[in-house]
Amino acid sequence: MANLLELYKAVVGEDIIYELSQLARVLKGIKIVHINSTKVGGGVAEILSTMVQLTTSLGIETSWEVIEGSPEFFECTKQFHNAIQGYKSTILNPHHLKVYEDTNRSNADQFRAVIENADVVFVHDPQPAALISSFPNRKNKWVWRCHIDASDPNRATWKYLRNYIRQYDASIFSLVDFVQPMPHPIYLIPPSIDPLSEKNIELTPEQVQGVYSRFNIDPNRPVILQVSRFDSFKDPLGVIEAYSLAKKFKHGIQLVLAGGGAPDDPEGEKVLSAVKALAENDPDIHVLFLPSDSHRTINALQRAADIVLQKSLKEGFGLTVTEALWKGKCVIGGNCGGIRLQVINHHTGFVVNTPEGAAERIRFLLQTPHVMKEMGENGRRFVHDNFLTTRHLRDYLSLIISLIKPTNRRIEIHKIGLT
Amino acid sequence: MSNSEQSFYVKNCALAATATGERASSLLELRDKLVLIDEGCIYFHFWGARMTHQIVHTQHHNDFARWVHEQLHDHVLGERLSIIDPTEFDSLELLRQELVEAVERRLDDYQIMLWTKKEDRFHFVSSTIIVFESTLTIGNPDALLQVVPKLAPGSIYYHFIDARARTPERVDDFSVWLKQFGAKYDPLVEEIQSIDPYFLTLPQVKEELIQVINKFFKG
């Protein structure tokens, strides 16, 4: 485990690891448990996998439990997920709600010992949120971590879930814009990327260049890339329009639209068909429908690109933007969600509102490679300082201290140890 | 003074940012909230944001100025708010009063009230600063050469940024500590105090510090 810290030290710097060790020493002896609904796949599992290992390697006993449920349970929680993100026509089905409550109760019984033994319990997203009701005499601190955009939820669903969430000692939202009022402290902790994961690890030039031949991309002409699901909120048609407008001035550019989609997502298939139809007469548009585990391929594509677009119309935090910035790429992003936090005009890229705006910025950047290079360097530094797993963990440890100590704007810990 | 009294005990800190749920969509709302909001929000939007994910905006040195400029497009008030130096005020309460005064003066000029879109509202954020001891100690001025390169970003924030809000002198902790060693170190103190943290990220502040210390000791 100590070796893990060495690996991160090589990427984030000795001072950052030293800082984490100091903070962890303050919390020595406490036990943490994280609870979510999946061990693999999805951003939450990726973050937890690294977070748990790192916390443990810092000497804090940390465990990770995953709740189990029937397909009906996950159907219900998928509806919760969509409803929190603003899908207005969700209708709560009483049978589904009973399945949700029963499943949380049975999982609470299964994990009772580990939960009661922990000092701090982090519960991630709506799936396990109702666990708290099974611990009416709890002595430990419970924190609900919301990984999704709850700024404009379906009211009925939120009203139902809020009854559970309000019982927690604190909640965490990724952005201040995503927050819903609660009768407890609401912490703001943005997500992060793992610099050592398959998606972000350094690649050799050969690995990067491999994608050119694999996907028939010309390495001698500029590549514009958007990585996202084929989803109308990601506006792939707007990306093609921006590319077409920019191509009138920069004839050699190529566009790569890389992403996947759930096989049972009818909307995704419709969007993909529309994208293919629009792209079919232009050999310089490459539409890549990739399997969900194509992390290295995406990594190489991002590194091979000259400019990365994330022209979303609605976005959560936008970790694909973080990934691109980490790889030193200038990003042109839609004016929404966490993109606004990461893409700073003239510093790490440009925020745009229309395909026309995106086209104009593509032209500007291709015309001024020195600006593009400087902004790329800014972006990598920006992510290094703010959006890596190590910062995420520091925020979690800070939260725990502020929860355990009496509330005060300034907590002075004069001796190592909380007492 | 004994050796131990002269030592500089390096501290570190972390910041836990919390949403207050208070928001403003217009200058009038900003004024109304400023009057009532917890002092912790004033601290955060002037100082604490430096420890979170925000970059250094060279044009505006506090979140209020930036919001007024970027979202309300009131460039006049943006400039007036930006120039407010929080170190000139003995308390956050006095700083709050200065802010309110600047906003109210501008409100007098308004013929129509400017509003923002829902997604561009100002969100009041507060924070808890957690200060803890590091294992680093600087025994004498020469040791700055070895210790400063090892400082974590939280230590830079605590001793260089937070110190300006915390100490009676309203300067960084390094300058105050060096003063006890006599006039020999005055040029170094002057160089350290001339580092303007408002234009630098925490890693950049550290780099500047290393440079002035190296220059002083190594020439």
Helices (H), A305-368: 319-326, 339-342, 355-367
Last residue of a domain, one of B126, B155, B190: B126
What local confidence, expressed as pLDDT, does residue A416 receive? 42
What is the pTM (predicted TM-score) of this model?
0.90
Cα(B179)–Cα(B166) distance, rounded to whole angstroms? 18
Q: CA of A402, closest CA in chain B: separation in Å? A: 7
Q: Based on the domain organization, do B111 and B138 belong to the same domain?
A: no
Q: What is the pLDDT of residues A75-104, one digit of tens each?
A: 899 889 888 888 777 778 899 999 999 999
Q: Based on the domain organization, do A116 and A251 belong to the same domain?
A: no
- Structure-token pair, residue A142: 């419970």
Which residue has tokens 């949403």? B19
Overall domain count for chain B: 2
B58: chain A residues, CB-CB within 8 Å: none
- Structure-token pair, residue A32: 């943490």
User: How many Cβ contacts (< 8 angstroms) between chains A and B?
Assistant: 106
A381: chain B residues, CB-CB within 8 Å: 203
- Structure-token pair, residue B55: 């970059």
- pLDDT surpassing 80 at residue A5: yes
Q: What is the pLDDT of residues A201-217, one digit of tens each?
A: 999 999 999 999 999 99
Q: Based on the domain organization, do B28 and B102 belong to the same domain?
A: yes
Testing the interface with B: which of A9, A15, A401 to mutate, by most B Cβ within 10 A? A15
Which residues span the domain enclosing B97? 14-126
* B14/A394 CB distance under 8 A: yes
Q: Based on the domain organization, do A333 and A217 belong to the same domain?
A: yes
B135: chain A residues, CB-CB within 8 Å: 22
Testing the interface with A: which of B10, B45, B55 to mutate, by most A Cβ within 10 A? B55
- Which of A206, A220, A223, A228 has its CA nearest to residue A321? A228
Instruction: Say how many Å lie between the first and final Cα of chain A, rounded.
Output: 27
Q: Based on the domain organization, do A181 and A224 belong to the same domain?
A: no
A181: chain B residues, CB-CB within 8 Å: 21
In a domain, A414, yes or no: no
This model of the complex carries an ipTM of 0.88
Nearest to A413 among B15, B18, B131 (CB): B131
Q: What is the rounded average pLDDT of the residues B180-200?
A: 92
Contact B158, B11 (CB under 8 A): yes
Q: What is the pLDDT of residues A323-349, one digit of tens each?
A: 999 999 999 999 988 998 899 999 999
Which residues span the domain enclosing A326? 205-386
Q: Based on the domain organization, do B49 and B139 belong to the same domain?
A: no
A313: chain B residues, CB-CB within 8 Å: none
* A179/B19 CB distance under 8 A: yes
What local confidence, expressed as pLDDT, does residue A305 receive? 98
By C-alpha distance, the chain B residue nearest A346 is: B57
Q: Based on the domain organization, do A238 and A180 belong to the same domain?
A: no
* A410/B153 CB distance under 8 A: no
**Coil, strand or helix at B147:** helix
* A385/B203 CB distance under 8 A: yes
Q: Based on the domain organization, do B209 and B162 belong to the same domain?
A: yes
Q: Based on the domain organization, do B115 and B34 belong to the same domain?
A: yes
Last residue of a domain, one of B83, B101, B126: B126
Q: What is the rounded average pLDDT of the residues B11-17?
A: 91
B125: chain A residues, CB-CB within 8 Å: 176, 188
Q: E strands within A262-345?
A: 285-289, 307-310, 330-334
Q: Based on the domain organization, do B22 and B9 belong to the same domain?
A: no
Q: CA of A345, closest CA in chain B: separation in Å? A: 11
Q: Based on the domain organization, do B118 and B197 belong to the same domain?
A: no
Query: In terms of residues, how long is chain B?
Result: 219
| % of chain A exceeding 90 in pLDDT | 76
Testing the interface with A: which of B11, B18, B126, B131 to mutate, by most A Cβ within 10 A? B18
Overall domain count for chain A: 2
